[in-house]
Amino acid sequence: MRRMNGMSARIAPADSALAPEIAAQLKRDDDGLVAAVIQQYDTKEVLMVGWMDDEALHRTLTSGRATYWSRSRGEYWVKGETSGNVQDVKAVSIDCDGDALLVQVDQHGPACHTGAATCFIAGGPLPVTA
C-alpha cells in the first residue's frame, strides 16, 4: 500500500472507516480501486468515470460529495474542491460483481476539467462502422 505525505496518504482498506459489510462487497483491482460511473441524477447523462478505494467510497457516502482516488496524482480529491464544480451525491449503487459503482449526483457547473459538460463530450465520438 502506498504511503505518501500528509492528507494524500492512501488509506489501506483495513484502516478505512468504510462499513465492513460494504467493504466485503468490493472487488478491487490490483491497485485497490473500483470504477465509479458518475451520472447526473435527473437527466441521466453520464458525466465521467472516476476511481475509488475504500476510503474514497466511505467519504463519498458520508460527506455527500463525490470523492475519488487520483491514479495520476496519487491522492484523494473531492471533485470541485478547487473549481467549485462539486457533485452532490444523491444515490450510490454497486454492481453485481462489486467492481463498479454507479454514483448519481447533482453536478454543479461542468463535470470535466476541460470545461465541457461531460468528459465524454470532451473526448468525443469514435466511429461505429458496423
Residues engaged in binding a copy of itself (CB under 8 A):
19, 22, 25, 29-30, 35, 37, 39, 43-46, 48-49, 57, 61-65, 89-102, 112-114, 116, 119-130
Rounded Cα–Cα distance for residues 111 and 94 (Å):
21
Q: Looking at residue 9, what DSSP letter applies?
A: P
54 known ligand binder: no
> Minimum Å distance from CB 54 to a copy of itself?
12
> Minimum Å distance from CB 74 to a copy of itself?
15
106 known ligand binder: no
The DSSP H or E segment spanning 122 is helix 119-123
Query: 11 or 104, CB closer to a copy of itself?
Result: 104
Rounded Cα–Cα distance for residues 29 and 15 (Å):
18
Q: Which three cell numbers stand for residue 112?
A: 470535466
In 3D, which of 114, 116, 103, 108 has the Cα closest to residue 52?
103
Query: 11 or 48, CB closer to a copy of itself?
Result: 48
Answer whether 75's CB lies under 8 Å from 6's CB.
no
95 known ligand binder: yes
Query: 5 or 126, CB closer to a copy of itself?
Result: 126
Query: 11 or 51, CB closer to a copy of itself?
Result: 51
88 known ligand binder: no
